[in-house]
């Protein structure tokens, strides 16, 4: 059974990569200057925030003091919002972002992490803190809870963005598999740094959105220190997607 789950997780990751490969072949956000207008700026901001808030957690258990975790993460949305002309008019369907993330266990049941990537004209730097609501235990079937905060700064030639996320996470270890669940919100601001073709008056304009996000997934450990995780994510307007990752955790 364990081997079957591992195979399913690997196949799911390959499927996600296959879906987003056409979009990742070129700059997904390269149509911002050409297609953004007053109506599409807010949906674009919501979509960007929903990806930035993805894959920031994969367990409700803290690392513990001096613990360490490093890995690759990815967030995917299956389609842009119906009013997101920046992506839709460019022909972008599924879209997403990868990250490299490093975490460290701190005193007082805290974990800190940093993440970032330079990808398709985007430079993203982020990080956050997690706090364990109860003392961590390694007993099976004992719920673990984390309160997590994340933040990101995004730079593109045509826009800049900032993102803040807050999540409540729970997980429970069941042998070789750990299901986890999260409920949270993403607050995202995008500032126009170009002269848009469709509405030159938007130069310097900004918009801010706040959107809830729900996550359900599981992680497994094929080896003692190696883990894989995958999750389904959705928002209040059923903007569905997936997140996944692989890493080493001590």
Task: Say if residues 140 and 175 touch (Cβ distance below 8 Å).
Answer: yes
Cα radius of gyration rounded to whole Å, the chain? 18
- Banded pLDDT at 24 (limits 50, 70, 90): low
- Residues 208 and 210: their CA atoms lie apart, in Å, by 7
For 54, list phi and psi in degrees, rounded to 5.
-80, 155
Minimum mean pLDDT among 10-14, 40-44, 145-149, 231-235: which range?
10-14
DSSP assignment, residue 174? B
Encode pLDDT of 50-93 as tens digits. 999 999 999 988 888 888 999 999 999 999 999 999 999 999 98
Determine whether 66 is exposed, middle or buried from the number of CB atoms within 10 Å of its CB (0-12, 13-18, 19+). Answer: exposed
Q: Contacts from 197-202 at CB under 8 Å and sequence distance 24+?
A: 197/33, 197/34, 197/35, 198/34, 198/35, 198/36, 198/37, 199/36, 199/37, 199/38, 202/36, 202/37, 202/38, 202/41
CA 53 and chain centroid, separation: 4
Encode pLDDT of 223-246 as tens digits. 888 999 999 999 887 789 999 999
Encode pLDDT of 114-159 as tens digits. 999 998 889 999 999 999 998 877 778 889 999 999 999 999 999 9
Q: What's the whole-model pTM score? A: 0.88
Task: Say if residues 85 and 104 touch (Cβ distance below 8 Å).
Answer: no
Residue 16 in tokens = 């996600």
Q: For residue 90, what pLDDT is reported?
A: 94
Residue 10 in tokens = 């690997």
| CATH dotted code for 2-249 | 2.40.160.20
């Amino acid at each position: 059974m364990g081997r079957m789950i591992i195979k399913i997780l690997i196949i799911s990751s390959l499927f996600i990569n296959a879906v987003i490969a056409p979009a990742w072949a070129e700059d997904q956000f390269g149509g911002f200057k050409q297609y953004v207008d007053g109506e599409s700026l807010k949906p674009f901001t919501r979509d960007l925030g929903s990806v930035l808030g993805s894959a920031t957690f994969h367990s409700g258990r803290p690392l513990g003091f001096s613990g360490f975790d490093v890995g690759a993460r990815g967030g995917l949305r299956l389609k842009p919002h119906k009013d997101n002309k920046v992506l839709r008019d460019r022909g972008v369907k599924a879209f997403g972002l990868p990250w490299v993330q490093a975490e460290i266990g701190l005193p007082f049941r805290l974990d800190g992490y940093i993440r970032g990537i330079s990808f398709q004209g985007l430079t993203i730097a982020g990080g956050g803190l997690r706090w364990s609501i109860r003392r961590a235990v390694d007993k099976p079937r004992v719920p673990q809870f984390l309160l997590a905060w994340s933040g990101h700064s995004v730079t593109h030639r045509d826009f800049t963005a900032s993102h803040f996320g807050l999540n409540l996470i729970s997980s429970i270890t069941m042998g070789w598999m750990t299901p986890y669940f999260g409920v949270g919100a993403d607050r995202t601001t995008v500032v126009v740094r170009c002269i848009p073709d469709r509405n030159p008056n938007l130069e310097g304009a900004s918009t801010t959105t706040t959107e809830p996000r729900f996550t359900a997934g599981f992680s497994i450990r094929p080896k003692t220190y190696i883990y894989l995780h995958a999750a389904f994510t959705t928002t209040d307007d059923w903007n569905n997607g997936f997140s996944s990752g692989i890493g080493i955790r001590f």
